[in-house]
Structure 1
Amino acid sequence: MLEIGKVLEIFSAKKDSMSSLPRPKVEKLNLIKDYGIELDKFALKNLDQTVMIVGLKSYQIAKNYGINLEFGSLGENILLDFDPHDFEVGIKLQIEEGILEITQICTVCNHLSIFDENLPKLLKGHRGVYCRILESGLVLKDTKVNLIKG
């Protein structure tokens, strides 16, 4: 394994929340294999998209165009200090005991235009990546992220 960065913030869309963006910060995420994130309203919806990870670079792209976004605005569950777009679909990341597999690049939805009408175009291909949970585990802020080789 190779340490590639750390978790900066964590977010969850609680089952009872009305709004989905920005997602509220949480103290911990409990990743559950074949389920999703505990208490998250998107659990059991699409297991290949159950966790969304975003790198700080996505927020920097927006900021470079004068769009200052609060973390959680892109709909992420996990904000990282590196760019997950640097890795291919199929790559596995370990966060403590939890193991995530990148399944696809996140499409940019028009919901982001509530922040700025140009944001969906600016972030095309850079909004974040979806992951499937291969191994259950707890995610906390400042947790190391490792790349699983092979």
Structure 2
Amino acid sequence: MLKGSVLGLFKSIKGEDGRISFEELCLDENGIIGDKYYGKKIDRSILITSKSSYDLAKDKATEIPFGYLGENIVIDINPYSMKPGEKIEMGEVVLEITNNCTICNSLGKVDSSLPELLANDRGIFAKTIKGGYIRKGDIVKF
């Protein structure tokens, strides 16, 4: 079992640009409560990104703050080798990995090199199996 911690939490709020940072998120079987994507595309309702993606971008001279990759959760361990159906625990919450995140055109707006650079390292999608709260600093286990 690998262990790490939650470094950042974000929601997309209707009428706001980008992701908004929060100290905690509340999740249920429909996703992140209060997120503009709540209840839509349940298998893609939560995007988890590793700090390693930001480190990779920084190594290539593109330093960006957490949230710019469109994620909901940033963790300090790399979950990208996880397969669909595997579980990841964070705080009170249990998530199930559904699929890898494909690169979208919005990353090119941040930096034109990001889509190619992060083609396999942008994040993974998950859905909620057990709801509750995730807080910055919570332990991550998978």
TM range (shorter): over 0.9
Q: Give, in angstroms, the shift of residue 86 of structure 1.
A: 2.7
Q: CA deviation at 1:41?
A: 0.3
1:109 to partner: Cα distance = 0.4
- Percent identity of the aligned residues? 36
TM value normalised by structure 2: 0.95
Name 1:29's counterpart in structure 2: 25
Which of 31, 41, 50 matches 2:36? 41
Report the aligned-residue RMSD. Answer: 1.1
- Structure 2: 5+ residue stretches without partners: none
Q: Deviations over 1:68-120 (max 9, x none)?
A: 11110001111000011032222101112211001000001010111211110
Whole-Å separation in 2 of the counterparts to 1:27 and 1:38: 14
Secondary structure of 1:121 counterpart: helix
For residue 131 of structure 1, what is the aligned residue in structure 2? 126
Query: After the TM superposition, which segments of 4 or more aligned residues of structure 1 sit over 4 Å from their partners?
Result: none
What is the 5 A alignment of 1:94-105?
A: 94-105=89-100
* 1:4-83 map, 5 Å: 4-17=3-16, 19-20=17-18, 23-33=19-29, 35-83=30-78
Q: Aligned runs of 1:104-115 on 2, under 5 Å?
A: 104-115=99-110
- What is the CA distance between 1:3 and its match in structure 2? 5.1
